[in-house]
Amino acid sequence: MVSTKEKIARIKDYYTFNSQEKLGLVIGMLVTGFLFSFRDWGAEQFEVAIGLTNFVLACFAALLLFVARFTLQKWYGLAQGYKVTFKPWWIGMAIAVVITFITNGWVPLILVGGVSVAFISKHRLGEFRYGFSYWQNGIISLWAVYSSVIMATLFGLGSYFFPSSYFFDKGLSMSIMMGFLVLLPLPQLEAFSLYYAEAWLYIVAIVIMVLAAALLLSKALIGIIICIILLLMAAVIYYFAGSHK
């Protein structure tokens, strides 16, 4: 693990979203916001004002979720000497829209895409085996799941203190949904990278999401506290597990 100063330097030099990534984030945000607010355009009858408000709140929650996910993946990748790029999955977004219409909004999906990873030669010098590491690629993919749990915990905390908040409620649902969907065995998502790194890593990711969903969807304070404690423990283990250069 490189030093904190080196990580900051790499982030300053390489952390960015190119035009294709930005387009994918914007369209993914709009599609996800639309799908998750599909049934929320009025309780008894169609109401534009209510629908638009819910749509905007859902879009904002989706944007925060996506930016957090791909930012954490990019940061971890840079720490290991990799450039991580978000690859929008346009067909996946179309499939999600079709399924939402077929189910009348009861099954909103998040299929915005995954990431591609390429190692940066000069930042891999001195690293074990120098070149591409399937294990580190798997951890980059695991961050898609871990970021979902982090955001779900934050949204869950907000939902507990503001139980009538549409924003926090939808954000929690999106976070849990995204965490499970990235584990689908599709080439455009992260599941195969997890499995190729280590089969047990894929199982760990599933267990993490099941545990997080069980704790957070109950919206009980004890579940939120347990998630926070587990996240803090994971952060401490991650920090002390690596040897700083």
> What per-residue confidence (pLDDT) applies to 130?
59
Mention every residue, 6+ apart, whose C-beta is less than 8 A from residue 205.
Answer: 142, 145, 183, 194
The tokens for 114 are 């995954």
> What per-residue confidence (pLDDT) applies to 142?
92
| Span 78-98, average pLDDT | 93
| Span 207-231, average pLDDT | 91
> Has residue 245 got a pLDDT over 50?
no
* pLDDT per residue as tens digits for the range 163-203: 999 999 999 999 999 999 999 988 888 888 888 888 888 99
For residue 134, the one-letter residue type is Y
> What per-residue confidence (pLDDT) applies to 1?
61
* pLDDT per residue as tens digits for the range 106-119: 999 999 999 999 88
> Has residue 57 got a pLDDT over 60?
yes
104's torsion region: left (phi>0), alpha (psi -120 to 50) or beta?
left
Expressed as residue numbers, the domain containing 214 is 4-241
What total of structural domains would you count in the chain? 1
Cα separation, 182 vs 69, in Å, equals 11
Task: Identify which of 125-129, 132-136, 141-145 has the greatest average pLDDT.
Answer: 141-145
> What per-residue confidence (pLDDT) applies to 244?
44
The tokens for 42 are 């009025």
Model confidence, pTM:
0.90
Place of tokens 């991580």: 84
Cα separation, 76 vs 74, in Å, equals 6
Percent of the chain scoring above 90 in pLDDT: 59
Measured CA distances, 243 to 3, 169, 237 (Å): 9, 39, 12
